[in-house]
Amino acid sequence: MKQLRVGMLAGLFAVAGVLSWAAARLWDSVGTLPRVPLAAPIVLALIAVVLLATAISLRARLRAQRERRPGAKGVEPLMAARAVVFGHASALVAALVCGMYGGVGVFMLEFLDIPARRDQAYYAGFSVLAGIGVIAAAFFLERVCKLPEDSDDEHGGTAPAA
């Protein structure tokens, strides 16, 4: 599995942001713009907390295993792989959701004098911040679960010819 790349996540964020800004302008011109749910930043923050707690737990268990502490509970490779996949998927979805709420939030900046729209802009902004937290926690989890580099990898994984 490839590592997360900031450029790819930023691209997803930008594309989703531009598309949602344009959709918000269009939707507002023909009717009522859908509301940004209050639960959006809360759910994203909970996902970030779960990812961070998983990363901290795995880091402590891996450190205890590496130091060969008596009674240390090891980490199963499949569990670590699942955690990394969960972090990777969460980061991708968070980049899309951040872009979506970011685009809607930028559109709402034009209407800050209307209290209901101002609240929607705040919810969208908090959703973007919580999504950035998800992405940061996913990067941390990926870093914690990264395998140490093998010396064979420097030679492309092939044995020298004798």
Does 100 fall in a domain?
Answer: yes
Rounded Cα gap, residues 137 and 118, in angstroms: 29
Within 10 Å of residue 93's Cβ, how many Cβ atoms? Answer: 16
Mean pLDDT of 63-69: 76
Contact 29, 115 (CB under 8 A): no
Identify whether 126 is part of a domain.
Answer: yes
Q: For residue range 40-60, list pLDDT tens digits in order.
A: 999 999 999 999 999 999 888
Residue 44 near residue 127 (C-beta atoms within 8 A): yes
H-type helices in 67-162, by residue range? 77-108, 115-144
Task: Assess if residue 99 is contained within a domain.
Answer: yes
Structural domain of 119: 85-147
Q: Taking residues 123-139, report their average pLDDT.
A: 95
- Tell me, what's the pLDDT at 150? 40
Tell me the per-residue pLDDT of 25-38, one tens digit each, with 9 for 90 and over. 898 888 877 888 98
Torsion of CA 86, 77, 64, 149, to 10 degrees: -90
Q: Among 7, 27, 36, 6, which Cα is nearest to 102's?
A: 36
Residue with tokens 């450029």: 7
**Would you call 36 exposed, middle or buried from its count of C-beta atoms within 10 A (0-12, 13-18, 19+)?**
buried
Residue 34 lies in a domain: no
11 domain-assigned:
no
Is residue 38, in this structure, part of any structural domain at all?
no
Tokens standing for 64? Answer: 């205890």
Find the range with the poorest average confidence among 6-10, 78-82, 111-115, 135-139.
111-115
Is 107 inside a domain boundary?
A: yes
Count of structural domains, the chain = 1
Residue 117 resides in a domain: yes
Q: Is the pLDDT of residue 161 over 60?
A: no
